[in-house]
């Protein structure tokens, strides 16, 4: 079966890939992909590349495809991954931390995650937020509401 995506590097591309491999400063994925392109350019089969580099067959096929469709740089790098947008910006997170360090509401000994979430909604910091999200956001901070050293301990 003939390969749909044939790698045919120019002399300049080949030299550039070899320089990148020799410098050793690129990330591992980028170096594997550079090796895949060089081996594919030499006519090495996918199965031989898989065995030689200990990568998956789909990695070899994807690298070939990306090279043919977008060139060397596209084959070597990943597209940025979108990820989930942050629920709170820095100012809003600072408000949450300050709120958590403040005195709890009347009749309460301490803030609960649910109370904090409800207060954020009440003061219109966010339209909706769960107590679990509040917990995760507070966990990322260096403050600890239960230790004397943090300054947040209330006797």
Q: Across all residues in the chain, what is the average pLDDT?
A: 87
Contact 20, 26 (CB under 8 A): yes
What's the rounded mean pLDDT across residues 6-21?
Answer: 92
Query: Angle CA(110)–CA(116)–CA(120) in degrees, nearest 5?
Result: 150
Distance, in Å, from the CA atom of 4 to the CA atom of 61, rounded to the nearest integer, reads 10
Q: What is the pLDDT of residue 71?
A: 93
Tokens of 140: 């990322």
| 148 pLDDT above the threshold of 90 | no
Residue with tokens 């994925």: 29
Task: Name every residue whose Cβ is closer than 8 Å to that of residue 93 and which is 6 or more positions away in sequence.
Answer: 137, 141
Helices (H), 42-130: 46-53, 57-76, 90-101, 113-122
Domain ranges across the chain: 11-76, 90-144
The helix-helix angle for 57-76 and 46-53 (nearest 10°) equals 90
What's the rounded mean pLDDT across residues 82-98?
Answer: 88
Confidence of residue 84 (pLDDT cuts 50, 70, 90): confident
| 2 pLDDT above the threshold of 70 | no
Task: Tell me the backbone φ, ψ of residue 81, rounded to 5 degrees.
Answer: -95, 135
Q: What is the pLDDT of residue 86?
A: 81
Q: How many helices (H) and strands (E) does the chain have?
A: 7, 0
145 closest CA partner among 109, 107, 106, 91: 109
pTM of the model: 0.56
Distance, in Å, from the CA atom of 20 to the CA atom of 32, rounded to the nearest integer, reads 11
- pLDDT per residue over 95-144, tens digit each? 999 999 999 999 999 999 999 999 999 999 999 999 999 999 898 776 55
- pLDDT per residue over 34-63, tens digit each? 999 999 999 999 999 999 999 999 999 999
Tokens of 134: 């509040």
């Amino acid at each position: 079966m003939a390969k749909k995506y044939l790698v045919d590097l120019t002399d300049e591309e080949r030299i550039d890939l070899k320089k990148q491999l020799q410098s050793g400063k690129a990330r591992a994925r980028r170096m594997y992909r550079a090796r895949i392109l060089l081996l594919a350019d030499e006519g090495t089969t996918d199965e031989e590349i898989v065995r030689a580099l200990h990568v998956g067959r789909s990695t070899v096929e994807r690298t070939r495809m990306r090279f043919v469709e977008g060139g060397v740089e596209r084959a070597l790098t990943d597209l940025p991954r979108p990820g989930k947008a942050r629920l709170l910006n820095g100012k809003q997170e600072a408000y949450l931390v300050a709120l958590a360090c403040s005195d709890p509401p009347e009749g309460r000994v301490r803030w609960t995650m649910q109370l904090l979430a409800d207060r954020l909604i009440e003061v219109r910091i966010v339209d909706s937020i769960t107590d679990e999200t509040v917990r995760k956001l507070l966990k990322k901070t260096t403050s600890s509401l239960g230790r004397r050293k943090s300054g947040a301990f209330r006797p």
